[in-house]
């Protein structure tokens, strides 16, 4: 069994499984990429890691800066995990009507949750996140 130096090394290293037996057409080879096997549990791990790496590379994200992200789900969870590992504080603007499980996952990774009105949905979270970013450049 391999021991990896960082959980981030596992992002994207998900298995491919032959699920041909599930196909209604026996002559079709059907493969599935098991993105749920990423460390934070979804394909959004890849996106979040790319966002952080790009922001670090172009100097937008440097030690001491805080990540602010509107999210209602997996991207926020993945960003919170990556921020924790890389040492960045993170604020997730989350609609109030998001499930308790998503809230708990964010809390486990140390994210500060900033509630936005549930009735405004994701658009309300985006507006609030932009305002927070403008107020705290």
Longest Cα–Cα distance of the chain, Å, equals 59
Within the chain, which residues score under 70 in pLDDT? Answer: none
Would residue 10 count as lying in a domain? no
Domain that holds residue 126: 41-135
Of 67, 119, 114, nearest in space to 93 by CA? 114
- Distance spanning both ends of the chain, measured CA to CA: 44
The answer to whether 95 touches 73, Cβ cutoff 8 Å, is no
Would residue 122 count as lying in a domain? yes
Q: What is the pLDDT of residue 123?
A: 87
If one counts the domains in the chain, the total is 1
Would residue 111 count as lying in a domain? yes
Residues labelled as active-site residues: 44
Q: CA 59, CA 117: separation in Å to the nearest integer?
A: 32
Q: What is the pLDDT of residue 6?
A: 93
Would residue 60 count as lying in a domain? yes
Q: What is the pLDDT of residue 86?
A: 96
Q: What is the pLDDT of residue 47?
A: 95
Would residue 5 count as lying in a domain? no
Would residue 97 count as lying in a domain? yes
With DSSP H G I counted as helix, E B as strand and the rest as coil, what are the percentages for the chain, rounded to 5? Answer: 45, 15, 40
44 CB-near residues (< 8 Å, 6+ apart): 73, 74, 75, 77, 78
Residue 81: CATH number of its domain: 3.40.50.1100
Q: What is the pLDDT of residue 81?
A: 97
């Amino acid at each position: 069994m391999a021991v990896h130096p960082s959980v981030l090394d596992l992002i994207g290293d998900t298995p491919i499984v032959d699920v041909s037996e599930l196909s209604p057409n026996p002559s079709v080879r059907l493969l599935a990429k098991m993105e749920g096997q990423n460390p934070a549990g979804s394909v959004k791990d890849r996106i979040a890691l790319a966002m952080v790496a790009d922001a670090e590379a172009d100097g937008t994200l440097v030690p001491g800066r805080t990540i602010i992200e509107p999210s209602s789900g997996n991207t926020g969870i993945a960003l919170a995990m990556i921020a924790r590992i890389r040492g960045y504080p993170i604020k997730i603007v989350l609609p109030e009507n998001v499930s308790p499980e998503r809230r708990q996952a964010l809390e486990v990774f140390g994210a500060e949750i900033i509630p936005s009105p549930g009735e405004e949905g994701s658009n309300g979270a985006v507006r609030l996140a932009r305002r927070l970013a403008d107020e705290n450049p």
